[in-house]
Amino acid sequence: MTSSDRPSLADRIDALLPQTQCTKCGYDGCRPYAEAIAADAASINQCPPGGTAGIEKLAALTGKPALTLNPANGAETLLRVAVIDEPRCIGCTLCIQACPVDAIVGAARRMHVVIDAWCTGCDLCVAPCPVDCIAMIDVAPLRAWSDADAQAARMRHDARRDRLATIDVTSVQAASAPADTRQAAVQAAIARARARRQAGAHR
């Protein structure tokens, strides 16, 4: 193996990260965080999903002290998954757009569902939901996030990134519509959902 074939420090750091792509580290995914650590632009204690065990692995690799998790980045928690309250879902697709690993499926104006086995627990889908119908719950039975989980999540994240990179210009223009246009679409979806619920209550 030549020197150019050897994994870079950023590659080796990235291999130790949980690939939840949650952005709690302050970077837009695990790879940017790995590159920041390699460049001494970030500390090794900014990844809540990796927790204490992850910090210790990064410390062993980089030779840096094994600090405690920085509370500014969040707290270490048990593995959780997103759950959608199906009757309240209005099919706005904002959660699908937010999911970094394609773990949510559905269509516009149709109910969405989370693929439990693919969910990384990043909770990035919660905030965009205009009707607050997404909750994070502990995985049952309780289990740790494994290396196999991380590898699978990385593959899905990379596949999503590659797919989005090939979206045609028309789709990109539609996705970048003015904020007021997008907000109007969401408000219309909320109104339809309320009308459906009111109609059901009067039956």
pLDDT digits (tens, 9 = 90+) for 99-139: 999 999 988 888 899 999 999 999 999 999 999 999 999 98
**Per-residue pLDDT averaged across 48-58, rounded?**
96
| Residue pair 14/34 in contact by the 8 Å Cβ criterion | yes
CA-closest candidate to residue 162, choices 102, 94, 95:
102
Q: In whole angstroms, give the CA distance from residue 62 to residue 50.
A: 16
Q: How far apart are CA 65 and CA 52, in angstroms?
A: 12
Going from the C-alpha of 55 to that of each of 13, 45, 51, 136, 185, the distances in angstroms are: 11, 6, 6, 24, 43
Query: Do you find a cis peptide bond into 49, omega within 30 degrees of 0?
Result: no
Instruction: Give which of 177, 13, 20 is closest to 28, Cα–Cα.
Output: 20
pLDDT at 174 over 80: no
* Phi, psi at 111, each rounded to 5°: -60, 140
The residue that leads in pLDDT, 36 or 139, is 36
In the chain, count of helices (H) and strands (E)? 7, 4
What average pLDDT does the segment 90-107 reach? 94
Give CATH for domain 80-196.
Answer: 3.30.70.20
* pLDDT for residue 185 is more than 50: yes
CATH class of the region 3-73: mainly alpha
Which of the residue ranges 42-51, 81-90, 167-176 would you say has the lowest mean pLDDT?
A: 167-176
pLDDT at 7 over 60: yes
| Cα distance between residue 147 and residue 175, in whole Å | 34
Q: Does 90 score more than 80 pLDDT?
A: yes
Span(s) in the chain for CATH 3.30.70.20: 80-196
- What residues does CATH 1.10.15.40 cover in the chain? 3-73
Q: Annotate 114-173 with DSSP letters as a single string.
A: E-GGG-----TTTTT-TT--EEEEE-SS--PPPHHHHHHHHHHHHHHHHHHHT--HHHHH
